Chain A
Amino acid sequence: MLAKQTQSRTLHWLGRQLFNRDDPAAFFDPLLERINPMWVQEYTPARVEQIIQETPDTKTLVLKPSRRWAGFRAGQHVNICVDVGGIRRNRTFSLSSSPILWQEQGRVTLTIKRLPGGRVTNWIHDALQTGTVIGMGEAFGDFLVPEPAQPVLFIAGGSGITPVLSQLETMAAIDYRAPVTLLYFVRTGDDVIAREKLQALSARYSALTLNIIATHETEEHRYLCDEDLDAIPGIKARQAFLCGPTGLMDLARNLLHQRGIADTDIHSTFFSVPQADLGNEALGGQVRFSGSKLDIGSEGDATLLDIAEAAGLSPRHGCRMGICHQCSCRKTAGTVVNRLTGQTSGPGEENIQICISVPKGPVSIDI
């Protein structure tokens, strides 16, 4: 899934005959991983070269991916995979370094905040060591700096600064010729990620106006307001880039709309997985069968298999009692409850048995 195909077609065909898998290059991974984890073929291996503590709850990982990685554009993100407690977990993070660092030194950085209860971010903060090799995918995302240059407004909150860091560094390096303003919201002064880097950037890159705003340092919380936007010259002509908590993004979008800025000029990117706001018994939700391009609403404790069949789909299945795993398929997003155990799944991509999985909020599956 995170692999990149580089072999010729004939070799690939031969590999499939010999090793019975669609990614034959990965057949010897279990051995190679022991000899040198950077030789693994299944994903792009990336060695953790350095771990920098940015703030009490944010760390930056300096990674050296294998040279076959295809690179990225500023503002894009990557999937990384790590094994935590024997379980392969995939998560998406924004690249916080400039593509120039990759081109010159073969390095990239991810800046990761510890999320309360987050299995992967907590593991990264508590257990990940320098020298470890993690898996990486190719970069994706369209949160990209406009070309040719146009005036830009960044509104970032908390660790939503990470793709913006990559963009600002790139803009400074290519001397991006248009006004650039960053409104960066943090809870307190201690929570500013990459403060020195930002200050250095604004010192050497004259087009950049930097405005760091602490929201929780006064009795009354200080959120984004009209005055902040009024102070930005030529705001109507700006391309707006939003990245931060949902509250900030919604507020910013509203205020920008009031100023007549069209949705096409407002760009936003994922910041964190939306938490399903459901009580213990609130089951059901909108199910997206991505392979069939079908959206079906469900209520109560109907299983995904029942929902699919009621919608006229016939997914592969067997015993309908959680035994035979004939029906296992890929969940790409959303939370499900296991009907047998009552356990709630994580929000990320994973395999589930649809005959015993009940959606809890919106769910996407590969059927």
Chain B
Amino acid sequence: MKQMTEAQLSELEQDLNAIRNEVIADLGERDAQYIRRMVRLHRMLEAGGRVMMPFGFIPPVFVAATATLGIAKILENMEIGHNVMHGQYDWMNDPSLHSQTYEWDTVCTGDSWRRTHNYEHHTYTNIIGKDRDYGYAVLRLSDDEPWRPRHSLQFINYILLSVFFQWGVGLHELETEKLQRREISLREKLPFLKEFARKGGRQAFKDYVFFPLVTFPVAPIVLAGNVGANLIRNLWSSTVIFCGHFTQDAETFSEEECEGESKGHWYLRQLTGSSNFTGGRWLHILSGHLSYQVEHHVFPDLPAHRYPEISGKVQAVCQKHGIHYNTGSFARQYGTVLKRVLRHSLPEHLGGSSATTA
């Protein structure tokens, strides 16, 4: 990790605060219109996908319906749900867009997500041992974690995690690794499991029971389409999220170096532990602007559609302080993610040079 003095960190903090304050002072009608437009678009896609699905016996309609519903779920999870739950639109005082009550169209409950993602991941970003999002306790992505034989087949685990991503995210708070180490007991996790079953059941009921049943004669088609839509969403969100922190140059941190850290140090960690990818406007929207992961991690509660607008300023601050601003094309960034997953399947001396210690 780049070494900076407290004075430099304090200057970094002020520079970033200035960017933030400018956006906060400007929040208003435009942001409200943006998110409401996204919500409207989601409702149209969702209704469109559901209505088209029973006509999926015509192959092109099946493809269109599945894609429409998949994109609806992506839009709702990434650009609306994730961002709303970060409190990006709390200032609007709209009960339908409030961080503490929003519930999204995925297996993970909003409450569990707010604990594991908003708090744990965004506070302890990329601190090995504290940020459980780093490898999701399934994958070894840094040499800071000792190699075990089971890691050699972790690419298969990665594929499985991506395919069943919403269930993986939903079960994240179960902390299976701690259960295995007997640090916690299953009994302690009962309230969580109850909530997980309720929400998971609700999601499965909707997509795999209710909609197929009400369209009974074509139930298999609707079921297949809904499975497909969920799969599209799972693969896409997993891919976007992996590009956010597991690219080649995204740094990791140890608990010691972050103990009692200042806000400036927290900012530095967010800047160096996250990575962006470039692309067109709709690529950004469908990634929930997590393509601007750096900006998102520095300012998780600013409306995400503002990230492209402030990206230039964040880059200028990085340049001023000599901090690497990690970005590249989607293909390049994702390539380095795959490389990281593969490389850490093997022990350090076999896995080639490690960029994480650079």
Residues of A at the B interface (CB closer than 8 Å) are 1, 14, 16-18, 20-21, 26-31, 34, 42, 83, 85-90, 316, 318-319, 321, 323-326, 328-329, 341, 350-351, 353
Contact = CB atoms under 8 A, between A and B. Distances in A.
The 8 closest A-B pairs by CB, nearest first: A86-B32, A325-B87, A318-B119, A20-B103, A88-B93, A86-B29, A324-B118, A85-B28
Nearest to A352: B90
A236 to B, nearest CB: 47
A90 B94 CA distance: 10
16 contacts: A17-B206, A20-B104, A31-B47, A34-B40, A86-B29, A86-B33, A87-B91, A89-B93, A318-B119, A319-B122, A321-B263, A323-B122, A324-B122, A325-B99, A328-B90, A328-B98
Given A17-B205, A87-B28, A325-B85, 14 more contacts: A1-B95, A17-B202, A20-B105, A29-B96, A30-B39, A31-B43, A42-B95, A86-B29, A87-B92, A318-B118, A324-B118, A328-B90, A351-B93, A351-B99
Contacts of A318: 114-115, 118-119, 123
B100 interface: yes
Interface string B82-125: 00011100111111101110011100000000110011001100
B94 A326 contact: no
Contact of B202 (A20, A83, A329): A20
A319 B122 CA distance: 9
B252 to A, nearest CB: 20
Given A318-B118, A319-B122, A351-B93, A85 B29 contact: yes
A350 B98 CA distance: 11
Size category of the B interface is: 35 or more
B258 interface: no
> Which of B27, B40, B47 neighbours the largest number of chain A CB atoms within 10 Å of its CB?
B40
Nearest to B123: A319
A17 B39 CA distance: 19
B21 interface: yes
B160 interface: no
B40 to A, nearest CB: 5
> Which of B31, B100, B202 neighbours the largest number of chain A CB atoms within 10 Å of its CB?
B100
Tell me the interface secondary structure of chain B in the complex: helix
Interface of B: 21, 24, 27-33, 36, 39-40, 43-44, 47, 85-87, 90-96, 98-100, 103-105, 114-115, 118-119, 122-123, 202, 205-206, 210, 263, 300-301
Contacts of A316: 100
Contacts of A16: 202
A353 B104 CA distance: 22
A86 B92 contact: yes
B114 A30 contact: no
A319 B119 contact: yes
A30 B119 contact: no
Nearest to A340: B17
A329 B99 CA distance: 10
A88 B94 CA distance: 6
Contacts of B92: 86-88
B44 A31 contact: yes
B93 A325 contact: no
A87 to B, nearest CB: 6
Contact of A325 (B32, B44, B47, B118): B118
B32 A324 contact: no
A223 to B, nearest CB: 39
A96 to B, nearest CB: 26
Contacts of A351: 90, 93, 98-100
Contacts of B87: 324-325, 328, 353
Contact of B31 (A28, A30, A86, A323): A86
Nearest to B41: A30
A316 B300 CA distance: 19
A28 B33 contact: no
Nearest to B199: A20
Contacts of B123: 318-319, 323-324
Nearest to A353: B87
A321 B93 CA distance: 21
A31 B91 CA distance: 22
Contacts of A87: 28, 32, 91-93
A329 B93 CA distance: 11
Nearest to B40: A30
A325 B85 CA distance: 8
A121 B258 CA distance: 49
B2 to A, nearest CB: 21
A88 B86 CA distance: 18
B30 A86 contact: yes
Contacts of A27: 43
B91 A17 contact: no
A304 B100 CA distance: 17
A26 B29 contact: no
A325 B96 contact: no
A325 B202 contact: no
Contacts of A321: 263
A28 to B, nearest CB: 6
B7 to A, nearest CB: 20
Nearest to B95: A1
Contact of B90 (A34, A319, A323, A325): A325
A326 B43 contact: no
A17 B28 contact: no
B241 to A, nearest CB: 18
Contacts of B93: 87-90, 350-351
Nearest to A26: B96
A34 B33 CA distance: 12
Contacts of B43: 27-28, 30-31
A234 to B, nearest CB: 49
B283 to A, nearest CB: 24
A325 B119 CA distance: 8
Nearest to A321: B263
A26 to B, nearest CB: 7
A351 B21 CA distance: 19
A92 to B, nearest CB: 15
B152 to A, nearest CB: 36
